[in-house]
Structure 1
């Protein structure tokens, strides 16, 4: 008697857990964004423009590598428009969020920005009919209270027109949600990650650069020290962080990706403590714990009522 067992194929739940780990890792890496931007000391439009401009070089190399490995033509693929729009919306998000910080402070603007979780869930339901799960609904109090505690609820309104600052932050949250949603669609349509990221990053650079030129806030000759931080920001955030998120978002619901990205607030707290000597308070640490708990709840895979089945696995026995 001989038994022949075909290679084990991961189940759907196992693949989702793996993708969630990738997204969470990417979100934690993205927590470095605010720290590296602060170290660069440049304006919002300058930071957004150069971080994307420098990222195009390694992304372009990855595009060439992926293209050699695949014979699939993608010049006229339907994902191009989605990637361009996604990049434009990310540029709007980056500029408006930093502008809102000047009016309402970093704490409140960060809290409002995380409305993207709700906006992404609504987009998924309206466009793709993705069900808004009970897990996501149950996680929202933990996520929003946690972000509020990390950001600092005592932050005062510093600008002359707080209503404008709040409006900017809400629009930035909506633009961020559209970016997350469209990049998921683009990477699924393209069947790869680097090329849609390259296109969207170029669109973000153009959007931020255009705003900077019109507003007079774009500095085309930042100092060498500032450029060093911007190069690091490009590699860490725009390349490594977003590539990890985009690679897994091909298969995950947009709402799960959005909820995981809230971890940026908690990881930024850790990186700020290590790199900027910004010691977090007990309240902020409690908020970080609530964010972590909220992400766990939001991305929890519901237990199946039926008996466990193995997807893609087949055993054949011959005598």
Structure 2
């Protein structure tokens, strides 16, 4: 009996340690992704152009990582179980990237950013419907903290701006839904593939093709940006599409989709920090309060739900065997 209890406790501790490591990886990825909006703004290109080139410039480093992983784990998986998920994820990310930036032009960065972070709720609903991942009270409790925090950080106005605010709100909500589907499908794809770089590479190709097609249809794709813009886009590809999303994808194989989505809200707070250090954009007291609320929301959302103790779980297993 003592051996069963000891092994159960050891297993529980190992699981908790793995979960904490995964959360640290996702949080690191989310903070790195906070550079995305800054680098995109510095490039000065259209949404479709930015989305297209961040994917194109990411292909070479992602390809190298795929080659390295294949040498380390030859023939580990075939592509069939996950490739459709990765392709669809990339298509939805392409839609998200273009529509979100278009929403910013229509209703301002504040409201569009708040609406985009409805992805937390959408991902939780997807996880419940598809995988029967329960929506925890911790996640529900965190939503007001996350959304109010994002609103304060983004400096949301009480009035809608732009020529067609209704269209802007619609774009932002659709972008939030597309972003949620991307997060959810990438978790499924990396889990099925058993590796990270290859699904991210496949989804990046799909994202580039989708955003490029949207840019062609709308006439907003610039295939020859100025050299300074291309420099920022290369940096955007390396920071966001390669490092940031690889970190998020590597941990999303094991974490619940809702925890990943909530952690990604940290992008808003980290963008504030990067703006202060890199662009001398000193945040206001209200924005600092908003960042603190986001951090508190992420802590609440990713907290381990109240559960039975390992000893109780072991006891249940023993009763089941009996």
TM-score, normalized by length of structure 2?
0.91
The residue number in structure 2 matching 1:204 is 207
The residue number in structure 2 matching 1:277 is 280
Secondary structure in structure 2 of the residue aligned to 1:108: helix
Find the partner of 2:187 among 181, 184, 187: 184
Find the partner of 1:229 among 216, 229, 232: 232
Find the partner of 1:135 among 131, 134, 138: 138
Stretch of structure 1 that moved more, 234-243 or 151-160: 151-160
Find the partner of 1:125 among 125, 128, 140: 128
The residue number in structure 2 matching 1:314 is none
Equivalents in 2 of 1:21, 1:73: separation in Å?
26
Contact map agreement 1:105 1:156 (CA 8 A) in 2? no
Q: What is the aligned-residue RMSD (CA, Å)?
A: 1.8
Equivalents in 1 of 2:284, 2:175: separation in Å?
28
Stretch of structure 1 that moved more, 183-192 or 300-309: 300-309
Equivalents in 2 of 1:310, 1:71: separation in Å?
38
Equivalents in 2 of 1:307, 1:46: separation in Å?
52
Find the partner of 2:119 among 116, 121, 137: 116
Deviations 1:69-124 (A, max 9, x none): 11225444210000000000000000000111111001100000000000000000
1:51 matches 2:54: yes
Equivalents in 2 of 1:140, 1:49: separation in Å?
32
Secondary structure in structure 2 of the residue aligned to 1:157: coil
Find the partner of 1:90 among 74, 89, 93: 93
Contact map agreement 1:105 1:155 (CA 8 A) in 2? no
Structure 2 alignment gaps of length 5 or more: 1-5, 315-322
TM-score, normalized by length of structure 1?
0.92
Query: Could you tell me how far 1:155 is from its partner in structure 2?
Result: 6.3
Secondary structure in structure 1 of the residue aligned to 2:58: helix
Structure 1 alignment gaps of length 5 or more: 312-319
Q: What pairs with 1:212-251 in structure 2 (closer than 5 Å)? A: 212-251=215-254
Equivalents in 1 of 2:238, 2:158: separation in Å?
31
Equivalents in 1 of 2:24, 2:114: separation in Å?
24
Equivalents in 2 of 1:111, 1:127: separation in Å?
25
Equivalents in 2 of 1:198, 1:22: separation in Å?
19
**Relative to total residues, which structure has the larger helix share, 1 or 2?**
2
Equivalents in 2 of 1:52, 1:21: separation in Å?
25
